[in-house]
Amino acid sequence: MYVRKFRISDAVEVARMHRNTIRFVNSKDYTQKQIEVWAGRTSAKRFRDSINMFFRFVAVERRGIVGYGDFKKDGELAGLYVHKDYQGQGAGNLLLKKLEESAIQKGIRRFFCCSTITARDFYKKHGVFILLSIVPQIIKSYKTKSVKDISILMLISLIIGTLFWIAYGIMAQGMPVIVLNSIYLFVVSYQLFLKIKYDK
């Protein structure tokens, strides 16, 4: 397996892989409706049209492209997806390493991202600063008082996972880990409160 720069000719294959990853990997953390909307937004045209907006790379195996990752000039890690059949086999690590090397060459010293629920622990493990991507959902829930698309089990699992990260931070005496996860815990807990309040 190796990593190279994305080419225009990769667009169809990358879009297909991206769509299937959403449907088969991310689907465990999101509702069916969310997955349908999300997968429906990706296309070969989208990847072709955005080629100059991102620094994009692909992971390649004998069978073809098995992952892609890209970032913006400001250091935002825009996406990192791995084929459903290559999860846990190092493709994500290779891609992130290549993205980091490319970013350093361009004078970028730190990545940040609005992570999906699925990739959150992967990014944390590698020291990527995760923005509170759930905040837009909270604002929407508060304004519309609609929480039908939010899974209460998902929120509970996020809270439990975050508590484990806080416990790890305490044991490792890692104050940034404790602070960031405490903020995330508060935000997710507030979303759970809205879910209980408006879920009628």
Q: How far apart are CA 196 and CA 93, in angstroms?
A: 38
Tell me if residue 53 falls in helix, strand or coil: coil
Can you spell out the DSSP letters for 154-182?
A: HHHHHHHHHHHHHHHHHHHT-HHHHHHHH
Residue with tokens 């390649």, as numbered in its chain? 60
Q: How far apart are CA 156 and CA 153, in angstroms?
A: 5
Q: Bridge-partner residues for 113, per DSSP? A: 130
pTM: 0.62
- Measured between alpha carbons, how far is residue 133 from residues 14, 130, 164, 200 in Å? 24, 8, 19, 25
Q: How far apart are CA 33 and CA 197, in angstroms?
A: 22
| Residuewise pLDDT in 10s, the chain (200 residues) | 899 999 999 999 999 999 999 999 988 888 888 888 888 889 999 999 999 999 999 999 988 999 999 998 877 888 899 999 999 888 988 998 898 888 888 887 666 776 777 777 777 666 665 555 566 677 777 888 888 777 788 788 778 877 887 887 788 776 766 777 788 788 888 888 988 888 76
pLDDT computed for residue 85 by the predictor: 92
Amino acid identity for residue 64 in this structure: G
8 Å CB contact between 77 and 111: yes
Q: How many CA atoms lie within 13 A of 84 on its CB side?
A: 13
User: Could you tell me how far CA 110 lies from the centroid of its own chain?
Assistant: 16
Tell me if residue 198 falls in helix, strand or coil: helix
Domains of the chain, start order:
2-130 (3.40.630.30), 135-198 (1.20.1280.290)
Ramachandran angles phi, psi of 18, nearest 5°: -60, -50
Q: Residue 37 belongs to what H/E stretch?
A: helix 32-41
